[in-house]
A and B are shown apart, each in its own frame.
Chain A
Amino acid sequence: MADDRKKLSMTLGESLRQQGVSRRGFLKYCAATASMMALPPTMVPAIAQALEKAKRPSVIWLSFQECTGCTESLTRSHSPSVENLIFDHISLDYHHTLQVASGDAAEAAREAAMHENEGKYIVVVDGSIPLANPGYSSIAGISNLQMLEETVAGAAAVVAVGSCAAFGGLPHANPNPTGAVSVGEIVKDKPVVNVSGCPPIPTVITGVLAHFLTFGSLPELDALGRPMVFFGQSIHDRCYRRPFYDKGLFAETFDDEGARKGWCLFRLGCKGPMTYNACATAKWNQGTSWPVESGHGCLGCSEPDFWDAGGFYNALSIPDSDLTRKTGYVVGAGVALGAAAGALNRSTRAKAAAKHETVTIDDLDKKS
């Protein structure tokens, strides 16, 4: 216990040096961290300087109405490895799935972490909170709502991981039988960062935590409370298949010539134009691929109510050709205008959902 406290009081630089990690190793670690946070490599010296002095924050991870997919995603994070993240970057003091303790001992660990790190710890939440009946989801006899309110009271910030915690997600899908709500609908007096996705990209989860550790602050957020650095551009704008969209070359079925040649999946229901996430650059499975690269359209899983946004295989109505340009300007102008981009995106989606139009060849001919 005394050793644990000593380790907590050490800076990350001291801790790594004690483990025999050379300065080169540390710089490599910082290069991977910069890449993970989507920061340019020129930031590596600044990151090294900040991380050298950073102390491991206590993290309490609460799991409510969820499927554990977000934890599955995180534990497959590779850069740096989750072991490094947990043992070097943060002090993970409570997590149902990963902790050894159970029952009273587990709850005691949560209370001890809250008490010892009052005002400084981070609460990570995955899963939505049922308000219709507390009995729908409880832990150790404590309702999700009560546990969230109690744990968040002394927190520095809250990170809502996954579309369930960020926007209600699958439990919130129509007709929302449990009365599921997002973390942001309950927590109003603490900063809440939404890391949406079903699940979120693992390096985006770790990137947000690393940002807090490195700079002691939360990253710039968009209108939906998501970090701009990862959610600032649409899947469509960063998609390597975008040139095919611009040329009007589309796959019409999953096994036609267009599909085999890797043409745009827009007509097969790809929600890339209305979805903001980092899949096209961060990718999945150790950077191997991502849904569009493997031949399936984007489901839009990082957007609110994606379950209720019409069929996954229904094409969106034709987006306004100016949307991309408008969004580009707005995102470039910063977070205040980012709100407008979010509104623009929402209104376009609402229009698409209301119309449920599909695109025909004639429509595209008219456009071009």
Chain B
Amino acid sequence: MQRLQDIAIKVESPEGAQASHGNALPILHEILHALQRFSTEGEQSCIDLRSLPFGPGDEEELLRLLGRGEINVTMDALGESTIWETAFSGVWIIDHRNAEGEPVALQIEIGPVPQIVFSQQEDIVDAIDRLEAQLNDH
């Protein structure tokens, strides 16, 4: 079945129309304050972009202004997630997709590394069990 994202939709902006609705700049201010708090107090934070009333072009404008930094991470867990550091150190974008490639969450995380990238204690315990089992087989 053809999915919505497979249909090529061409958006034509009329002459003089706004490319975005001005919602990117307030979010940039919020990011700046969050980054200052992280730098001085070590407080990490996260913004859910899906909860914001963005107009057409706002999300694209925000991502364009944030740019791309030095690190890209691909996570394959219940569908693919793409995580990248923006051009501003400490500001990360987390784009979670489900197994069908549809967006399920889009977040901005302020911190040294997004929490989900760290190895998780439960998975480490499971890894020890599996590694021991593998060694016992030899």
Contacts and interface: CB of A to CB of B under 8 A. Distances in A.
Nearest to B79: A28
Interface string A286-304: 1111000100000000000
B17 A79 contact: no
Contacts of A326: none
Contacts of A346: none
A173 interface: no
Interface string A3-33: 0000000000000000001111101110110
A81 B98 contact: yes
A38 interface: yes
Nearest to A261: B17
Interface stretch (A67-75, A97-105, A235-243): A235-243
Interface residues of A, number: 38
B53 A25 contact: no
A293 B45 CA distance: 30
A169 interface: no
Given A32-B104, A240-B58, A261-B16, A281 B51 contact: yes
A261 B57 CA distance: 13
B78 A243 contact: no
Interface in B29-67: 45-48, 50-56, 58
B120 A31 contact: no
Contacts of A282: 50
Contacts of A25: 77-78
B102 to A, nearest CB: 5
Contacts of A351: none
B105 A35 contact: yes
B53 A239 contact: yes
30 contacts: A23-B120, A23-B121, A24-B120, A24-B123, A28-B78, A28-B96, A28-B104, A31-B94, A31-B105, A32-B96, A32-B105, A35-B50, A42-B46, A81-B98, A238-B53, A240-B21, A240-B58, A241-B21, A243-B21, A243-B22, A260-B17, A261-B14, A261-B16, A261-B17, A262-B56, A281-B51, A281-B53, A286-B102, A293-B55, A293-B56
Interface of A: 21-25, 27-29, 31-32, 34-35, 38, 40-42, 44, 78-81, 238-241, 243, 260-262, 280-282, 285-289, 293
Given A32-B96, A281-B52, 14 more contacts: A21-B77, A28-B81, A28-B104, A31-B116, A35-B107, A42-B45, A42-B46, A81-B99, A240-B53, A240-B58, A262-B17, A282-B50, A288-B4, A293-B56
Interface of B: 4-5, 14, 16-18, 21-23, 45-48, 50-56, 58, 75, 77-79, 81, 94, 96, 98-100, 102-105, 107, 109, 115-116, 120-123
